[in-house]
């Protein structure tokens, strides 16, 4: 046994279990990364980041890939127009996508697996060599005896205050994927770990600021995003300008023979501040950090337009992306 004045829960995340018959036939992303042979067909249950990233790898390697998503849209938290671009491109490279379907059970059929799902009232099935659990990951805290430390949890999540401490026992700190309210991202885990460290040393003075934290889905092309989706921006009730560009015929996109080069940038009309940015292709996984910086430090759309960028670069297109409301 170890005793300490402060305890940090940094136990990461674990795969969300799907309560359906035959769920034990599914492999996780951990097992998938240890595969020694290329399967001829794979079904991903769930249309999130892990399914799309691995799905693109498999599809480009020649595997038949299917994705089954329960909600009407892949990547439900992302901007729907950006997702539509990635959806179409994923189908173009041969991935079969079914949204709005509910997976009911998984059966072993010889050496293969059959996934039975319903589309409305109609039962259908797909067969493949592998079925991957891609329904998401949850905070990995339920195996800890949290009650012994007076650490309150609700629905398997530790209840925390703004300083990333247990709301019921402030000597217990939480960071990384074990935090229930922030995205499960590696740089965020490091950021939250630093905040926890500083709060332990200095007392509870540091709270995380999640504004301007960018994320990417590393498909080819990638989908990158920061800030609000258009839907969320409209729900704020403020007047917004939405700049959407299909850049496939721009010089930079042509140079790289991009099949998708798409951006959406959302600007608050009154303040000219960037509210959100979304890219598919066009080095969006790099450009998105410029918009993260703008959101975090209040750089306006005019300032981004007025900047002089190295040319030829994808960044040089930023001023044109913001050109027309
Ligand atoms: C397939 C996959 C791809 C990803 N790709 C990206 C990406 O491209 N970019 C990105 O930003 N993020 C990515 N992530 C997310 C990223 O890996 C996590 O956000 C990050 O690792 C979280 O760090 P952490 O320290 O909170 O948890 P972890 O890195 O998971 O570390 C937690 C550690 O705690 C240990 N542990 C658990 N329970 C106990 C216990 N009871 N006692 C002792 N030790 C315990 C675990 O074994 C583990 O070593 C990906 C995740 C997955 C699964």
Q: What is the pLDDT of residue 308?
A: 95
Sign of CA dihedral 140, 143, 144, 150: positive
* Nearest residue by C-alpha to atom 43 in ligand 1: 11
Q: What is the pLDDT of residue 323?
A: 85
User: In angstroms, what is the span from residue 140 Cα to ligand 1's centroid?
Assistant: 10
Looking at the chain, the whole-number percentage of residues with pLDDT higher than 90 is 97
pLDDT category of residue 174 using cuts at 50, 70 and 90: very high
What is the position in ligand 1's atom list of the atom closest to the CA of 187?
11
Examine the pLDDT at 307 and tell me if it is beyond 90: yes
Confirm or reject: Cβ of 10 under 6 Å from ligand 1.
yes
Q: How far apart are CA 179 and CA 177, in angstroms?
A: 5
Examine the pLDDT at 69 and tell me if it is beyond 50: yes
User: In angstroms, what is the span from residue 176 Cα to ligand 1's centroid?
Assistant: 8
Beta strand pairing call for 41-45 and 64-68: parallel
* Inter-residue contact 25 to 113 (CB < 8 Å): yes
Q: What angle do CA 139, 145, 150 make, to 5 degrees?
A: 95
What is the position in ligand 1's atom list of the atom closest to the CA of 215?
11
φ and ψ of 257, to 5 deg: 50, 45
User: In angstroms, what is the span from residue 316 Cα to ligand 1's centroid?
Assistant: 35
Confirm or reject: Cβ of 11 under 6 Å from ligand 1.
yes
Confirm or reject: Cβ of 12 under 6 Å from ligand 1.
yes
| Residue-range domains of the chain with CATH | 7-14+138-202 (3.50.50.60), 17-135 (3.50.50.60), 215-321 (3.30.390.30)
Confirm or reject: Cβ of 187 under 6 Å from ligand 1.
yes
Q: How far apart are CA 200 and CA 220, in angstroms?
A: 41
Look up the pTM and report it: 0.95
Q: What is the pLDDT of residue 203?
A: 96
* Nearest residue by C-alpha to atom 40 in ligand 1: 11
Q: What angle do CA 96, 102, 108 make, to 5 degrees?
A: 75
Confirm or reject: Cβ of 116 under 6 Å from ligand 1.
no
* Span 233-276, pLDDT tens digits: 999 999 999 999 999 999 999 999 999 999 999 999 999 999 99
Q: What is the pLDDT of residue 285?
A: 98
Q: What is the pLDDT of residue 325?
A: 42
User: In angstroms, what is the span from residue 12 Cα to ligand 1's centroid?
Assistant: 5
Task: Determine the average pLDDT of the residues in 152-181.
Answer: 96
**Substitution site in 49, 143, 177, 216 for ligand 1 pocket (most atoms within 8 Å of beta carbon):** 177
Residue with tokens 């849209």: 73
Could you tell me where the beta strands, DSSP code E, fall in the chain?
A: 7-9, 13-15, 41-45, 64-68, 96-98, 102-109, 112-119, 122-128, 130-133, 137-139, 153-154, 157-158, 172-174, 215-217, 223-227, 240-246, 261-268, 274-281
């Amino acid at each position: 046994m170890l005793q300490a004045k402060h305890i940090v829960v940094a136990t990461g995340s674990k795969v969300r279990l799907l309560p359906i018959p035959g769920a034990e036939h599914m492999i996780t992303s951990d097992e998938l990364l240890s595969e020694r042979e290329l399967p001829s067909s794979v079904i991903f249950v769930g249309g999130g980041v892990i399914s799309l990233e691995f799905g693109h790898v498999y599809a480009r390697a020649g595997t038949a890939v299917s994705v089954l998503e329960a909600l009407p849209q892949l990547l439900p938290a992302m901007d729907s127009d950006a997702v539509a671009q990635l959806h179409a491109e994923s189908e173009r490279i041969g991935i079969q996508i079914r949204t709005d379907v509910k997976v009911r059970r998984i059966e072993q059929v010889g050496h293969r697996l059959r996934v039975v799902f319903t589309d409305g009232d109609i039962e259908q099935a797909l067969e493949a060599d592998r079925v991957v659990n891609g329904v998401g990951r949850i905070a990995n805290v339920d195996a800890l005896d949290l009650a012994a430390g007076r650490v309150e949890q609700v629905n398997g999540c530790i209840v925390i205050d703004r300083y990333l401490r247990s709301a019921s026992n402030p000597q217990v700190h939480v960071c990384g994927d074990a935090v229930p309210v922030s995205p499960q991202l590696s740089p965020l885990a490091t950021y939250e770990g630093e905040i926890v460290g500083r709060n332990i040393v200095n007392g509870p003075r540091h709270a995380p600021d999640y504004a301007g934290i960018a994320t990417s889905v590393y498909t080819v092309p990638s989908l990158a995003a920061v800030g609000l989706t258009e839907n969320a921006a409209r729900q704020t009730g403020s007047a917004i300008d939405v700049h959407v560009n299909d850049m496939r015929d721009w010089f930079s996109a042509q140079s790289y023979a991009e099949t998708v080069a798409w951006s959406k940038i959302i600007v608050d009309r009154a303040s000219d501040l960037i509210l959100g940015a979304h890219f598919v292709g066009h080095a969006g996984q790099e450009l998105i950090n410029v918009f993260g910086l703008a959101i975090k430090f209040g750089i306006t759309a005019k300032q981004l337009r007025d900047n002089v960028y190295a040319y030829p670069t994808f960044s040089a297109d930023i001023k044109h992306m913001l050109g027309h409301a």
